[in-house]
Amino acid sequence: MAKSFEFLFDYGSPFSYLANIQTPGFARRAGAAVIYRPILLGAVLKATGNSSPMAVPAKARYMADDLRRWAARYGVEFRMNPYPFLGNTLPLMRGAVAAQRVGAFGAYHDAIFRAVWADGLDLGDRGVLGDALRRAGIDAATLVAAAELPEVKDELRRNTENAIARGVFGAPSFLVGDELYWGNDRFDFIAEALARSV
C-alpha cells in the first residue's frame, strides 16, 4: 500500500497557509500521497473548547511576529488579512469540498490560500471571490453553486466531525494513520511516522 498522510486545513488559518506551501515538496521527498481534508476550524475550536490565538492579545502579538518569521524562513509572501470574513470561512471550505468533487481542487486551493494570505483580499465579497476564481481558471458560478449542494455541506460536516473524533483541536493538523501532528513545523515527525508505516 502506498504511503499517505492527511492534511486538515481551514483557509482562515495562516499557519495552514504556511504548511500548505511546504506540503507538496515534503510529500514528494517522502514518497507519500497527500489527502487534503477541508475542515471548519470554527466548529473544531468550539467543540474542543479551544479558541483563536487572536482572542488573547499577547498571543496575537506573538503570532503576528511568528508568522512573519516563518514566511521569511520559507521565502514566501505573507500579509495579515484584515477582513471579517475570516470569522466565518464556511463558504470557502464548502468551496474546497465542491472543488474536490468537480476536479478543480488544486487550482481552487492555491488561489484561495494566495488570495487570503499573500494578497490580503476580502473573499467575503462575492465579486472579489469570483475574480480570484476566474483568475485561477475556475468557473466561479458553477463552483459557488456546487458549494451549496447538500452532499457538499454534508461532506464538510463529516470531515469536521471526524477530525474532532480523532483528536484534532486546531489547524493545520496532519494525520498519519491515527498519529496526530499539529502545526506547520511538524514535517520531521510526519516523515518519521511515514517511515514507520511502511
- Helix ranges (DSSP H) in the chain: 14-30, 41-48, 57-74, 90-102, 105-117, 126-135, 140-146, 150-165, 187-196
Looking at the annotation, which residues are catalytic? 13
**Could you count the other beta carbons within 10 Å of the beta carbon of residue 170?**
20
Q: Look at residues 101, 26, 168, 19 and name the one whose alpha carbon lies nearest to residue 4.
A: 26
Amino acid residing at 65 = D
Cell of 62: 506573538
3-9/32-38 β-pairing: parallel
Phi, psi angle pair for 174, to nearest 5°: -125, 145
